[in-house]
Amino acid sequence: MFRRTLGVLFSVLLLAHAAAAGTDWRVTRTDHFIIYYASGSDAVAAKTRISAEKWYSDLSGKLGFSPGGVTPVYLYPDRVSFAQAAGVKPADTVVGLAQARLIRVDASGVFADVESVLAHEMAHVFIARRLYGNTTHLPLWVNEGLAQYLSGEWSEADQELLVEAVSDGAILPLSSITMSFPTDKRGRGIAYAESYSIVQYIADKYTPQSLRDLLTETKQGRRFEVACLYSLGTKPDALETEWRDFLWQKYGMQRWFKLGAAIIWAAMALFAILAFRSRIAQKRRKAQQFEEERKSPWRDADMGDQ
């Protein structure tokens, strides 16, 4: 078993080297990482050394688990080299890719800073290593939501998008983001926002320990429905209903405020249109009256008498 695992790891590293063959790589090591970076990116590599060990310690504390061994981290200097290695398009917003024993990071800084990307991808590595190959038993929304929660990846923009989705009735069913996320930008953003929100909800209501328990139960090879019941004491459908009620209570009133504002603006617009049309009609009537008076024979006779 050890030889097989070692052989798979060696193959992964060979593929990584092949994908990045066009880059002049430099190497630096820490206790838990071997960091590959492009020539001229010494400053980025130095920051990554510190950040990687910091997040390793932080994630170990949050999950009560420390993966053994050394994890390779590739810092790609530009979008093109990262996209080629990750198998994505340069225009895509994907900035990191994690496997159980390998992390790829777009270190160009075009879409995100290296530290935030590294933290998110390291969280995925911890999750994958904790599950011992049972990652597919974990719905994608849990995996991504947990990675965001563990890395503290939440912004005002995410909050606004979630509020807007609740207000518009655009919250996605969790069943639709179990295996994959939408490909359109807004839908994908909503999926990520939902994933973080429900994981945060679990941590707040059932305590952060319940998230550890959920991973432990999933590690045993149990289906998510069973793992959820054993760790949270509730089924996924009931959990989703609770969470949706929570969102509605927290943000739902904004939907009515939004609808009320829309009605007021529509009424004002209608009033403005009616007033404008009324003024136009009044001007036309005056113009018609003036024209009739100008053409009146009595008006000419009166002017002759004067």
Last residue of some domain: 97, 131, 165?
131
pLDDT digits 0-9 by tens, 252-275: 766 555 555 556 666 676 666 766
Q: Does any domain span residue 259?
A: no
Tokens for 99, please give them.
Answer: 């496997």
pLDDT at 179: 95
Residues 192, 127, single domain; the answer is no
Beta-carbon contacts of residue 82 (< 8 Å; ≥ 6 apart): 76, 95, 104, 105, 106, 107, 108
pLDDT higher than threshold 50 for residue 13: no
Phi, psi torsion values for 98, nearest 5 degrees: -125, 140
In this structure, what DSSP letter does residue 173 have? Answer: P
Q: Does any domain span residue 208?
A: yes
Residues 26, 115, single domain; the answer is yes
pLDDT at 10: 39
In this structure, what DSSP letter does residue 172 have? Answer: P
* 101/128 Cα distance (integer angstroms): 9
Residues 89, 74, single domain; the answer is yes
Judge whether 195 and 141 are in contact, CB under 8 Å.
yes
What predicted TM-score, i.e. pTM, was given to this entire model?
A: 0.75
Judge whether 23 and 81 are in contact, CB under 8 Å.
yes
Residues 174, 194, single domain; the answer is yes
Which of 30-44, 76-90, 95-109, 253-267 is the least confident region? 253-267
Structural domain boundaries, residue 225: 133-252
Phi, psi torsion values for 232, nearest 5 degrees: -110, -15
Vertex 133 angle, CA 132 and 134, to 5°: 95
Alpha-carbon Rg for the chain in angstroms: 31
Share of the chain above pLDDT 90, in %: 63
Beta-carbon contacts of residue 306 (< 8 Å; ≥ 6 apart): none
HEC per residue, 102-130: EEEEECCCCCCCHHHHHHHHHHHHHHHHH
Last residue of some domain: 131, 162, 193?
131
Work out the average pLDDT over 19-44. 88
SS3 25: strand
Q: Does any domain span residue 236?
A: yes
Q: Does any domain span residue 262?
A: no
Residues 16, 98, single domain; the answer is yes
Residues 168, 179, single domain; the answer is yes
Nearest to 152 by CA among 123, 185, 177: 123
Higher pLDDT, 145 or 257: 145
pLDDT higher than threshold 50 for residue 1: no
Last residue of some domain: 83, 99, 131?
131
Residues 190, 137, single domain; the answer is yes
When divided into structural domains, the chain yields a total of: 2
Alpha carbons within 13 angstroms on the beta-carbon side of residue 54 total 12
pLDDT digits 0-9 by tens, 234-245: 999 999 999 999
pLDDT digits 0-9 by tens, 177-205: 999 999 999 999 999 999 999 999 999 99
Pairing label, strands 71-76, 102-106: parallel
Nearest to 30 by CA among 17, 12, 8, 46: 46
In this structure, what DSSP letter does residue 268 have? Answer: H
pLDDT higher than threshold 50 for residue 20: no
pLDDT higher than threshold 50 for residue 3: no
pLDDT at 243: 97
Residues 4, 126, single domain; the answer is yes
Residue 76, domain CATH: 3.40.30.160
Residue type (1 letter), 258: K
Beta-carbon contacts of residue 71 (< 8 Å; ≥ 6 apart): 32, 33, 34, 101, 102, 103, 122, 125
How many other CB atoms are found less than 10 A from the CB of residue 36? Answer: 20
Q: Could you tell me which residues are beta bridge partners of residue 98?
A: 103
Q: Does any domain span residue 266?
A: no
pLDDT at 110: 85
Residues 143, 115, single domain; the answer is no
